[in-house]
Amino acid sequence: MAVVLKTQEAIYQDFVDKVTIETPLITNFNDSARIRAIGQGLSVVLEDFNNRAFRKFRSDLATSVFESFNFFKKEFIQAVVNIQFVAINPLTSNITVLTGTLVTTADGIQFKTTADVTMLIGQTLSALTPAQAVITGVTGNVLANTITQLLNPIDGIDSVNNPADASGGQDEESDEDYKERFILFIRGLARTTRDGVRSGAKEVDSVVSVGLDERPCESDVYIADGTGTASAALITAVQLNLDENNTAPGITLFVLSPTKTIVSVAASVLLESFADANEEKQTIKTAIINYINSLEIGEDVVFSELVTTAMTSTTNIKSITFTDPDCVDIPIAANQIARTDSANVVID
């Protein structure tokens, strides 16, 4: 039997029709009739049940179609990073920092070590030690040299540092992105098509952007995680997946990390007189950073989109004038990805 979305009025009418047929002696459905009150109360409850059942059916139907292809939504993943413990003065005794030690960025993004590390007498810097973000998602993909604080003091050790970016953090895939990736997957079942290669690369966890530089019989496949780069391990995982599932005979695919192109932005704004200038400028700055950092490999920074992003970030902006870039798009090559940060976006 089909699952049909029904209103309370339709459910009540079904009730009246059923009662009339099954119990001919009950004919009074006027406003004051007790049977009418019972029927309307029941129909309200059934409307809510029907709505819930209908939504669940639609959701499960879509999921079952995807899962029949062994195609599942990407889940949250925690970022990973290598850190080093720092002592200002050479150690006078060996110190072992245990697994589970908590360190943090200045703005409170915590990481937990996943292995012991021992610093020996005379050392001021530990070996690289693996750590994992406490929170899940892309928020853990922090930049190099930002994990600098011990959450709890350790005698003899003064600070901590991460020489390279944290990577691999992944947000749970949205329903919209899940559906778009499934469409890409279906289109790419012919193996080494453009869609097939992009789909095969995005099957690997942590890959959020894919770009192709195509040549006869071979292509460079550029991949990036939420930081705009790809680790050696991620490149290897994507290469294996493409070689096994998405490469036709006679075609060679080379998986590479893109070149991160740092974009500088400078602008001056005119705000409403009652606005908090510092707060509004930070809002505009954050919106611009988020726009640029959402671009995929090979996507240009479009000047009109930059302006729109700034102008729609707050209702208290009257006008904005960009000096960098100055009314031009910023071209990004097929092997590049645009990225920026707070230090490279100036709003006056």
Using alpha carbons, list the distances in angstroms from residue 279 to 121, 194, 267, 339: 48, 44, 16, 23
pLDDT of residue 62: 56
Q: Is residue 180 within 8 Å of 265, Cβ to Cβ?
A: no
pLDDT in tens, 8-39: 777 778 777 776 776 665 666 676 666 666 66
Residues 6+ apart with CB under 8 A from 104: 110, 111, 147, 149, 150, 151
> Which 3 state secondary structure label does DSSP give 15?
helix
Average pLDDT over residues 295-319: 95
Q: Average pLDDT, whole number, for the chain? A: 86
What pLDDT score was predicted for residue 216?
Answer: 82
CA–CA separation, 209 and 221 (whole Å): 10
Q: Strands across the sheet with 265-271, in order?
A: 317-324, 265-271, 345-347
**How many Cβ atoms from other residues are within 10 Å of residue 108's Cβ?**
9
Question: Bridge-partner residues for 103, per DSSP?
Answer: 111, 150
Residue percentage of the chain with pLDDT more than 90 = 57
> For tokens 């589970």, what's the residue?
100
* Distance in angstroms (rounded) separating the CA atoms of residues 295 and 324: 18
For residue 75, what are its two tokens? 């889940």
In the DSSP assignment, the letter for residue 167 is B
pTM: 0.59
pLDDT in tens, 222-269: 999 988 899 999 999 999 999 888 777 778 899 999 999 999 999 999
The pLDDT, as a whole number, for residue 91 is 95
- Is residue 201 within 8 A of residue 221, CB to CB? The reply is yes
The mean pLDDT of 294-299, rounded to a whole number, is: 93
Whether 57 has a pLDDT exceeding 60, the answer reads no
pLDDT for 272 equals 93
Sketch the domain layout of the chain as residue ranges: 8-64, 80-161, 175-257, 261-347
pLDDT over 50 at 1, yes or no = no
The predicted structure's pLDDT at residue 69: 67
Cα 320 to chain center, whole Å?
A: 29
DSSP label at residue 97: E
Pick the CATH number of 175-257 from 2.40.128, 3.30.160, 3.30.300, 2.40.160: 3.30.300
Nearest-5° Cα angle at 318, 313 to 320: 75
298, 211 in Cβ contact below 8 A?
A: yes
The residue ranges of DSSP E strands in 98-251, in sequence order, are 102-105, 110-113, 117-119, 129-133, 147-150, 159-161, 209-215, 218-224
